[in-house]
Structure 1
Amino acid sequence: MSDGNLTTAEQDVLDQIESKDVDFLRLQFTDILGTVKNVSVPARQAEKAFTEGIYFDGSSIEGFVRIQESDMRLKPDPETFAVLPWRDKEDSAAARMICDVIDTSTGEPFEGDPRYILKQALDRAKEMGYTVNAAPEPEFFLFEEDEDGHATTKTNDHGGYFDLAPKDLASDVRRDIIYGLEDMGFEVEASHHEVAQGQHEINFEYDDALTTADNVGTFRTVVRAIAAQHGYHATFMPKPIPKVNGSGMHTHLSLFTEDGENAFHDDDDEFDLSEEAHAFTAGILEHAPAITAVSNPTVNSYKRLVPGYEAPVYVAWSDRNRSALIRKPAARVPAASRIEARFPDPSCNPYLALATLIHAGLEGIENDLDCPDPVRENIYDFDEQKREEYGIETLPSNLGEAVDALEEDEVVYDALGEHIAEKFVEAKRQEFEEYLIDVSDWELDRYLEKY
């Protein structure tokens, strides 16, 4: 029982904890790089978590604070309460809540909390009269483990796009993942085998952008946990196998007005897209090189972003083909009109990636940017001269170039906030420098005996 100082949603969580026999709570948040962190507390501490928060040492989290500024407080969001699906039914359960991070020195939201950064982007949209909906399509690989339980890059099947068993031997794993996600409140739209062997995709229905970002972190956690139960390692690494398609996280975006109308739809437009949708698209295209540092944040991300493997590298949009950076998918009803950003990958921090996409798009609306004409031909077939004729630029070719673009782009840099932008650039510069001085197996195989 509570002392009466709880909200209705918080009291509902306490009631569920009792009725579902929950004994532990995982209070989750993410660091700047998108890694899900959690502080585990006995469920009896739930009321205290709501009324006082749970304190932790922020200096141990990547990119948070220095040791002398270490005290942070977690404020759980009761709307994110969900029982974790992988405990035995006979055992008492564990549940998770996603938290906002509070700076104890000020009592205000911590400027290094990625969830807070996305909330600021949504506040900007709200001030302009919009809410933001998003729907991601995260892809992943399932690999076998070796006898010591370590991940290999050996796939467990020989399936291809939309294949069925027996080629798609992971259908049972996907089924159990879907059951687990549904137990946690997900509305799963579809699942299928992807193009590459061992590659899979599970799509969940669109939601408001904050819930969507929360769901991406939960999705990755559930996929890994349930895959491990089946003896497989699930990875969201963008390009784990050379010379095959990598894993993307195509992200569908739309704006809705305060009266619930889709601000992206216009029956009078050739593409059924409103002026706002065209300007929003133009904003993303304008800032795409800088966004890439956030939406494709690893050295490995740029092994996926190469021509020939279905990943978009050309800064253009289309209503027909998938070689462009942004696609306008077909919509059955006006409420479904949207754009699809095809360049993000599932290694990104979903809060920061969505924040940069939203800020760039809103900047396009505020400045009434002109959207270029769609490119309906396959850009992969264009030579350099034809791309120049169409005015099509390419995304950065490596993480170093992307970080350069981020630092030069005031809109995207500011979207991250000074604290995160500075720490993010520092971390990614270091990652790229370490990559440059490393010697790969490819180099040893090619040069060691030859020279």
Structure 2
Amino acid sequence: MGPRDTYVLRTAEERGVRFVRLWFVDVLGILKSLAVPASELEQVLEDGVGLDGSSLEGAARRRERDVIAYPDPSTFALLPWRDGVVGRMFCTVREPDGGAFPADSRDALQRVLAQVADLGWTVQVGAEIEFFLFAGEDDSPVPRPLDDGAYFDLTPLDEGSDFRRRTIDHLEHLGIPVKASHHEVAPSQHEIQLAHTDALSMADAITTFRLTVKEVASELGLFATFMPKPLQEHAGSGMHLHLSLFDGDRNVFHDPDPSTPLSPQGRRFLAGILAHAGELTLLTNQWVNSYKRLANGFEAPRHVQWTRTGGAGLVRVPASRPTRETATRIELRSPDPGANPYLSLALVLAAGLRGIERGYQLGPEANGDDAASVDAPKLPADLREATDRFESSDLARETLGDRVVDLVVANKRAEWDAYQATVSTWELERFLRLL
């Protein structure tokens, strides 16, 4: 038993922890949990705990599979909304013989990060996560916003202000530093920015963040949603990811010339993401509703292009602090907060590494304020197209393995079929009496 295990046991005893929740996610990034009593914690840390591996397969479950979840003691934390008497740890899921379990999203990201480490680099990721906060007691099928605020509005002390304060307090108790928070462009829409950290910690933080937001909303009699586009007439919610590679303390993406936005390696990394953008979109935008956000503008990207000014570009290269080495990064603007952060980051990083490995050349910068005039390829238009492109992606299969790719595809095919078979309110209003 290592020092981290000893720390977990000592902390649990000193704080009177009664249960520890073991966390893992399925292939869609939906959080799963198994609770163990504190009396069993030492044995669980040594031997893991058995569970049904089909629970990681999303809605495409086929048959039960015995697997073992091994908690990662470095992720131990006390859940602040349980008065500190319930802990949590993320898990690595293994086959009974100790081999990797193909449907373990967290392990998929760790495999890519091992490749990055072999090159002598580490990955730093920041995240800007948007979401909506709605009235919790309303039984109407249409969500009711709590305010009419707009971008960066300072609203009076109300549910939204209290909500953000409580959420940040909880996140800080969980060891997740917050860089900033503010009201977003749509009514009752909020954004919280998570400070840069290593890629695995960020994926864990995003998963923890989503549960924390929902717990705080519930405390206030509200409900929060990470649905990409819940309001038809307003902007959807994005999850912009800020990415950079470091060699020790040196930012690999930084170029000492202030007029050059990225180093040669940074440019090849960006070129890799652009070249494989269509293949990875199913992971960064994995729901039918995701494409309502991408299709309707409101600053959501549609074209595969890069820019320094934002607009409709898929990737922005921030240029506000060109001489500060640590600030050099790329901002991927397509992901939404309903994504599986582990698989998304794994494939995005793999695309960037492919660009470096094969020397991809970065095309010219686009005018981000006038994307329609740019002859650039578009992101997939809907879930069906995104699924087709992901399924045929050699990069996805090499990075994630056939099992994960096939499971994600099976889930998304079923979702698309159900969506296609649904008669919408729009169709009834448009055609019922006309035809």
| TM norm structure 2 | 0.96
2:389 aligned with 1:400, yes or no? no
Contact 2:22/2:71 (CA < 8 Å) preserved in 1? yes
Q: 1:402 offset after TM fit, Å?
A: 0.5
Q: 1:87 offset after TM fit, Å?
A: 2.1
Contact 1:121/1:415 (CA < 8 Å) preserved in 2? yes
Unaligned ranges ≥5, structure 2: none
String of CA shifts for 1:156-196, please: whole Å, max 9, x gaps: 11111111122974011110000000010111110000000
Structure 2 residue identity aligned to 1:363 = R
2:374 aligned with 1:387, yes or no? yes
Corresponding position of 2:90: 98
Distance 1:151 1:435, change over 3 A: closer
Distance 1:393 1:152, change over 3 A: same
Corresponding position of 1:358: 349
Q: 1:406 offset after TM fit, Å?
A: 1.0
Q: 1:15 offset after TM fit, Å?
A: 1.0
1:191 equivalent among 156, 177, 181: 181
Structure 2 residue identity aligned to 1:438 = T
2:197 equivalent among 207, 214, 229: 207
Q: 1:152 offset after TM fit, Å?
A: 5.2
Structure 1 residue matching 2:232: 3-state secondary structure: coil
Structure 1 residue identity aligned to 2:118 = E
Q: 1:413 offset after TM fit, Å?
A: 3.2
2:198 aligned with 1:216, yes or no? no
Q: How does 1:115-194 map onto structure 2 within 5 Å?
A: 115-146=106-137, 153-166=143-156, 169-194=159-184
Q: 1:247 offset after TM fit, Å?
A: 0.3
Distance 1:151 1:113, change over 3 A: farther
2:272 aligned with 1:280, yes or no? no
Structure 1 residue identity aligned to 2:191 = E
Q: 1:81 offset after TM fit, Å?
A: 0.6
Corresponding position of 1:54: 49
Structure 2: how far apart are the matches of 1:103 and 1:262? 37
Structure 2 residue identity aligned to 1:286 = A
Structure 2: how far apart are the matches of 1:11 and 1:173? 35
Structure 1: how far apart are the matches of 2:340 and 2:14? 34
Q: How does 1:227-376 map onto structure 2 within 5 Å?
A: 227-257=217-247, 259-268=248-257, 270-330=259-319, 332=321, 333-376=324-367
Contact 1:294/1:349 (CA < 8 Å) preserved in 2? yes
2:68 aligned with 1:73, yes or no? yes
Contact 2:25/2:56 (CA < 8 Å) preserved in 1? no
Structure 2 residue identity aligned to 1:353 = S
Structure 2 residue matching 1:97: 3-state secondary structure: strand
Corresponding position of 1:26: 21
Q: 1:407 offset after TM fit, Å?
A: 2.0
Corresponding position of 2:30: 35
Contact 2:271/2:360 (CA < 8 Å) preserved in 1? yes
Structure 2: how far apart are the matches of 1:409 and 1:57? 29
String of CA shifts for 1:332-363, please: whole Å, max 9, x gaps: 32012100000000111000000010000000
Structure 1 residue identity aligned to 2:235 = N
Structure 2: how far apart are the matches of 1:66 and 1:307? 36
Structure 2: how far apart are the matches of 1:156 and 1:405? 39
| TM norm structure 1 | 0.92
Contact 2:308/2:368 (CA < 8 Å) preserved in 1? no
Contact 2:44/2:70 (CA < 8 Å) preserved in 1? yes
Structure 2: how far apart are the matches of 1:229 and 1:84? 14
String of CA shifts for 1:314-343, please: whole Å, max 9, x gaps: 100011233200001135320121000000
Structure 1: how far apart are the matches of 2:108 and 2:204? 13
Structure 2 residue matching 1:444: 3-state secondary structure: helix
String of CA shifts for 1:12-67, please: whole Å, max 9, x gaps: 11111112111110000000011000001111211111101011122344358743
Structure 1: how far apart are the matches of 2:418 and 2:12? 46
Structure 2: how far apart are the matches of 1:321 and 1:60? 39
Structure 2 residue matching 1:163: 3-state secondary structure: coil
Contact 1:151/1:233 (CA < 8 Å) preserved in 2? no
Unaligned ranges ≥5, structure 1: 1-5
Structure 2: how far apart are the matches of 1:116 and 1:59? 16
Contact 2:253/2:263 (CA < 8 Å) preserved in 1? yes
Distance 1:87 1:152, change over 3 A: farther
Structure 2 residue matching 1:225: 3-state secondary structure: helix
Count of aligned pairs between the two proteins: 432
Contact 2:277/2:379 (CA < 8 Å) preserved in 1? yes
Structure 2: how far apart are the matches of 1:362 and 1:168? 45
2:415 aligned with 1:428, yes or no? no
Corresponding position of 1:3: none
Structure 2: how far apart are the matches of 1:60 and 1:199? 32
Q: 1:272 offset after TM fit, Å?
A: 3.6
